Amino acid sequence: MVGDSMDEIDIHLGRRLRRRRRLLGLTQQELAHACGVRFQQIQKYECAANRMSAARLWQLAEVLEVPVSYFYEGLTRDQREHLERETSSTSETLASKETQDLIHAYYQLGERPRRRLLDLAKAMNGEIEA
């Protein structure tokens, strides 16, 4: 149920993104260029294949000249409450000293060792497909 709720929120955010982009007459390519990403990334956000981070939502709101709250308009109360709980939990995790140390060490590595470490972490978590 938690996954379903988050998927619904991602779909909602993607629809709001598409609506605003079209209202401004922007192509996915133009929006992507303004955000420093490829247009495929905007496509993935709009169809909810990729989840938008808080930083990306902030950036999109700036480019699209809307408050961040624009993206959340129309969500049900339950969806908003679930999102707030999820965000609070994530913020606490990211603020921990251990997480900050891990992030710092990760970015001290070169690209290839970073990829290998990420693959290892995913494998340990059972996320890499054989």
Between 41 and 105, the more confident residue is: 41
38-77 in b/e form (b: 16+ CB < 10 A) is eeebbebbbebebebeeebbebbbebbebeeebbbeebee
> What's the average model confidence in pLDDT over 53-69?
91
> What's the average model confidence in pLDDT over 18-32?
94
pLDDT band, very low/low/confident/very high, at 66 (cuts 50, 70, 90): very high
Owner of token pair 């956000």: 45
* Contact partners, residue 99, CB within 8 Å, separation at least 6: 93
Length of the chain: 130
pTM given for the model: 0.59
Sheet strands (E) in the chain = none
| Confidence (pLDDT) at 2 | 44
Runs of H (alpha helix) within 65-96: 77-95
pLDDT band, very low/low/confident/very high, at 123 (cuts 50, 70, 90): confident
| Confidence (pLDDT) at 27 | 95
Q: Which two tokens stand for residue 42?
A: 């905007």
